[in-house]
Amino acid sequence: MSESATHLEDGPIVVGIKPGLPSRIIETAERTAGSMGCEVIFAYVELNSALVELDPTEPRLNESLDPEIDDEMAGVSAALSDMLTAALAGTRVQWSFRVLAGDPASALSRLAADVGSRMLVVGTRRHGPIHRVEAFFAGSVAKSLAMGQSRPVLLVPLNRDAD
């Protein structure tokens, strides 16, 4: 059986999160994991950090997937962890939270590969002129993941009506 054929059979779900994230993504990931009977790994990618190794053929180093956390990153990480704890209170789904380094799409892809993830869950871009400018300069994580993955990517629409 090929590696891509096993993605839906085992492994956790990896979910990309960031500050200001609508609860819709957390709820979607929790329901999906509950229906599949698997764990969820929520991952925040610190944009002001970089992957230690730049060559994709080099082995992955712990510093890339578990970066050193400075005071600012620790505050953001704690706030996200508290948000997840509150949002997932009472759930039976096992979950964990990770902080990653580097480009969001690359870091999430690497984590998914390292943990044998069955799928990735990310939000789409929000609507509006500010978000269009941001997407122009930074690109779309959702698009990068959807175009460059062998595993399924669940895109959760973020629109004006979502919380």
**pLDDT per position as a tens digit, 71-128:** 677 788 899 999 999 999 999 999 999 998 888 888 899 999 999 999 999 988 655 5
DSSP alpha helices (H): ranges in the chain?
23-36, 62-65, 71-87, 104-115, 129-138, 141-148
Chain centroid offset of residue 22 CA: 14
Backbone angles phi, psi at 79, to 5 degrees: -65, -40
**Ramachandran angles phi, psi of 88, nearest 5°:** -105, 15
Domain spanning 4-156, CATH class:
alpha beta
The whole-number average pLDDT for the span 126-154 is 65
Spatial contact of 101 and 49, defined as CB atoms under 8 Å apart: yes
**61, pLDDT greater than 70:** no
144 Cβ contact partners less than 8 Å away, ≥ 6 residues apart: 105
Lowest mean pLDDT among 31-35, 103-107, 136-140: 136-140
Mean pLDDT of the chain: 77
What is the share, in percent, of the chain residues with pLDDT greater than 90? Answer: 37
Residue 56 has pLDDT above 60, yes or no: no
Q: Where are the domains of the chain?
A: 4-156
Q: Report, as an integer, the average pLDDT of 136-145.
A: 62
Sort residue 25 into left (φ over 0), alpha (ψ -120 to 50) or beta.
Answer: alpha
**pTM exceeds 0.85 for this model:** no
Q: At what angle do helices 71-87 and 23-36 cross, to 10 degrees?
A: 60
Rounded to 10 degrees, the C-alpha dihedral 97/73/44/102 comes to -130
The size of the chain, in residues, is 163
Residue 120 contacts residue 112 (beta carbons within 8 Å): yes
Asked if pLDDT for residue 42 goes beyond 80, the answer is yes
Give the number of other CB atoms < 10 A from CB of residue 147. 10
Residue 26 pLDDT grade (very low, low, confident, very high; cuts 50, 70, 90): very high
Query: Confidence band (pLDDT; 50, 70, 90) for 22?
Result: confident
